[in-house]
Amino acid sequence: MRRLLPEPAAIGVDPYEAYGDLPRLRLGMVMSADGSVTDAEGWTDGLGGAADFRVFRTLRALADGIVVGAGTVRTGRLGPARLRDDLRARRGGPPAPIVVVSRSLDLDWTLPLFTEAETPTIVVTTRTAESRVPGRLRVVAAGEDDVDLPAAVRALREDLGHEHLLCEGGPSLAAALIRASLVDELCLNIAPTLLGGARHTRLLEGLDAEVPLDPAALYLDEGVLFVRYRLRA
């Protein structure tokens, strides 16, 4: 990985060190050069290749909690968080928990994400729905009938000790966190591909106002551009 901004680096950059200055809530997503966050198969795997996976794994290793939306879970392709041996050693412990945000709780509780996670998965839902979460899982109930995201994030930090959060989407949850002024940094990985006629899934869904961004850093690895944006208050 080469750093291009804020000033070019003469030697390769270690992603763990490059992303080590942790914000309170970081949004990490990958998209094609023409704006899709899913590949032709409707997932992210085919976009950024090995370079994207290296940063993806690094961001997870640095986080205290990995926040995802229910739609991502319903694909059935999201498994429990795992760590390679080298990242486990640098982290100094087991992987961060996956934190699933769901108002409806229309979820398959037999998925490995809920039954086989080394660090138990956490479910964020409403007080109305919390009784429907299996007893083996930890629940954060925030809001009566709709999930109160500021209250949920506060509970994850203050009650459970997950200070530094990484959100991996999907587009609706990412936009909701931005609308609530909870996101400090957007880590956007731009894959060197144009998907053309493939059905595009937008980076954000439901963002109804302009949000200024300040570019903080730019890296390049195997053709993938890694941009770090700070969100202005």
The predicted-structure confidence for 21-62, as pLDDT tens digits, reads as follows 999 999 999 999 988 887 776 667 677 889 999 999 999 999
d(CA 35, CA 185): 19
Cβ contact 121:160 at 8 Å: no
Cβ contact 213:67 at 8 Å: no
- How much is the pTM? 0.94
d(CA 132, CA 216): 42
- From residue 104, alpha-carbon distances to 55, 107, 127, 142, 149 in Å are 32, 8, 11, 13, 15
Tokens 């903080």 correspond to 216
Question: Per-residue pLDDT tens for 164-205?
Answer: 999 998 899 999 999 999 999 999 999 998 887 656 778 899
What is the gyration radius of the CA atoms in the chain, in angstroms? 17
166 Cβ contact partners less than 8 Å away, ≥ 6 residues apart:
25, 26, 27, 28, 59, 60, 62, 63, 65, 66, 67, 96
Domains, the chain, ordered by start: 24-34+43-195+202-231 (3.40.430.10)
